[in-house]
């Protein structure tokens, strides 16, 4: 039964071609929200080293489950702490090999530029704001961005009023695509996601106290790989984190 589960999980995982090549390969499982920034970091690193960093992007929940069932990740960059803790409890990740490197903000966005910005989220009637329209966010039971979104809406006493209008996505980038493709009028995503598309308008920023801290831990899993260790050290360096900052992330490692 366990073998069957593994097969089903791997069938949903898009892993880069691990064919034999001259460079040693390091597989990085990373939250979908880090894609653009991490791609930039990896491009620079691959160009000047003897190793090749290969990213696999998806929901932190999905990636964590795949790692749990044996996916060959060397490094895990999660969009929240609980999914790393999940792997720590199963002795797949050691706490000493994990560093909290990034933070983010949760924002309400739209493609309709006629909608006014919200000055006070706490006094906003989301049911009135949405009207008959839908709002996209990550799956509220597992995707970190969705978990944070539901927490914030519940804190503001708005969840029950609009939960039937929520379109849940398998990761935060899919929620973003629902909005960009005009399937919904609103979405709740990370500030770093919203920054990527000039056509999007941020109409509200959720206060940090309305949800759990949005923290991205980076974890070295494969302790036997010198190449993975070298990239992990590079990933958490201050100069590397500045690249993430350029893409809209906040730096947790400075705290």
- CATH code of 106-210, in short, is 3.40.190.10
Domain boundaries, the chain: 2-103+214-254, 106-210
pLDDT tens for the 255 residues of the chain, in order: 434 334 344 444 545 554 445 678 999 999 999 999 999 999 999 988 888 999 999 999 999 999 999 999 999 999 999 999 999 999 999 999 999 999 999 999 999 999 999 999 999 999 999 999 999 999 999 999 999 999 999 999 999 999 999 999 999 999 999 999 999 999 999 999 999 999 999 999 999 999 999 999 999 999 999 999 999 999 999 999 999 999 999 998 554
- pLDDT computed for residue 130 by the predictor: 97
**The pLDDT value given to residue 24:** 82
pLDDT at 254: 53
**pLDDT value of residue 211:** 98
Say what the pTM is. 0.88
Nearest in space to 79 (alpha carbons), one of 25, 136, 149 = 149
Q: What is the fold, at CATH topology level, of the domain defined by 2-103+214-254?
A: D-Maltodextrin-Binding Protein; domain 2 (3.40.190)
2-103+214-254 shares its CATH topology with 106-210: yes
């Amino acid at each position: 039964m366990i073998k069957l589960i593994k097969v089903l999980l791997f069938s949903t995982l898009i892993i880069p071609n691990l064919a034999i090549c001259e460079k040693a390969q390091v597989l990085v499982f990373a939250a979908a929200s880090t894609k653009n920034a991490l791609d930039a970091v990896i491009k620079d690193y691959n160009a000047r080293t003897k190793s090749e960093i290969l990213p696999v992007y998806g929901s932190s929940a999905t990636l964590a489950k795949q790692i749990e069932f044996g996916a060959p990740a060397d490094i895990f960059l999660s969009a929240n702490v609980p999914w790393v803790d999940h792997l720590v409890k199963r002795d797949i990740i050691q706490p000493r090999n994990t560093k909290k490197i990034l933070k983010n903000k949760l924002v309400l966005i739209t493609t309709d530029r006629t909608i006014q910005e919200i000055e006070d989220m706490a006094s906003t009637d989301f049911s009135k704001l949405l009207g008959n329209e839908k709002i996209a966010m990550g799956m509220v039971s597992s995707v970190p961005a969705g978990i944070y979104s539901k927490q914030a809406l519940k804190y503001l006493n708005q969840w029950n009023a609009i939960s039937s209008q929520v379109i849940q996505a398998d990761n935060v980038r899919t929620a973003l695509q629902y909005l960009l493709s005009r399937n919904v009028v609103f979405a709740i995503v990370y500030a770093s996601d919203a920054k990527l598309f000039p056509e999007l308008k941020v109409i509200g920023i959720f206060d940090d106290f309305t949800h759990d801290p949005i923290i991205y831990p980076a974890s070295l899993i494969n302790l036997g790989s010198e190449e993975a260790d070298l990239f992990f050290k590079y990933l958490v360096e201050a100069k590397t984190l500045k690249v993430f900052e350029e893409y809209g992330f906040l730096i947790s490692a400075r705290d």
